[in-house]
Amino acid sequence: MSELIDISPLVSSELAVWPGDVPFSRKVSLDVEEADNITLSSIEATVHLGAHTDAPNHYTKGHIGIAARDLNYYYGPCQVVEVDLPRGERILPSHMQDPVVAPRVLFKTKSYPDPNVFNDDFNALSAELVEFLHAGGVRLVGIDTPSIDLSADKVLESHQAVASHDMAILEGIVLNEVDAGCYTLIALPLKLAGADASPVRAVLVTSCEPKSY
């Protein structure tokens, strides 16, 4: 029997966002607990909230928003790769101990341990790694940190490498309790018109078909 593993952080007012971005808040307009006949509420937050997918227009001028993205990027065979690097370093191809066996690769770095506390010394991908993964048939890269680039990188070298190959990005996932190996990823973005990203409920299914790409 396959199992679902939730790799999304809890979205609440405590969830950390990028410094200067809009944190999550929820306003209740009607509440059954207060004798209303229904509960209605609204939310305000960055679209780069918790587990989220970046759209090409987030990092490249003139490109499409998240609503126009092909959903096939975000569903299918996936490989979780664990690396052990000093904080604040980029992952290079040489840090990968296992061969690429799926078209979606998620990196478990353990460098951003608490989604409610923003630490800026997390690990990130390198442009060299993105090029290496693309050459191996990878369509989506993901990481258990707020960004595939280092916090101080204004050029966004890994985002730009992704853009050059029309790959997809999944950030902010939680892999603390996930073993390295092969899974099926489900992380579908919302159909938000023109948006530069979308929060997702990212899950792994404990079954996949390696080399199915």
> Which homologous superfamily is 4-10+48-205 in?
Putative cyclase (3.50.30.50)
- How far is 198 from 184, CA to CA, in rounded Å? 20
pLDDT of residue 211: 54
Q: Which residues contact 190 (CB under 8 A, 6 or more apart)?
A: 66, 198, 199, 200
Q: What residues does each domain of the chain span?
A: 4-10+48-205
Q: What letter would DSSP give residue 120?
A: S
Does 205 score more than 80 pLDDT? Answer: yes
Could you tell me which residues are beta bridge partners of residue 197? 54
Q: Of 6, 9, 53, which Cα lies nearest the Cα of 170?
A: 53
pLDDT, mean of residues 35-43: 97
In the chain, pLDDT over 90 holds for what percent of residues? Answer: 95
Can you give the pLDDT at residue 136? 96
Q: Is the pLDDT of residue 207 over 80?
A: no
Catalytic position from the list 48, 52, 58, 159: 58
**Dist CA 190 CA 59 (whole Å):** 19
The string of DSSP codes covering 2-32 is: --EEE-----STTS--STTSPPPEEEEEE-G
pLDDT in tens, 65-89: 999 999 999 999 999 999 999 999 9
Is beta strand 124-125 parallel, antiparallel or unpaired with respect to 168-171? unpaired
Other CB atoms within 10 Å distance of the CB of residue 147: 21
* pLDDT above 90: residue 166: yes
Mean pLDDT taken over the chain: 96
Which amino acid would we find at residue 78? C
Residue linked to tokens 């609503």: 67
58 is catalytic: yes
DSSP string for residues in 84-99: ---TTPEE-GGG--S-
Is there a contact between 107 and 144 (Cβ–Cβ < 8 Å)? yes
- Entry pTM: 0.95
Is 157 strand, coil or helix? helix
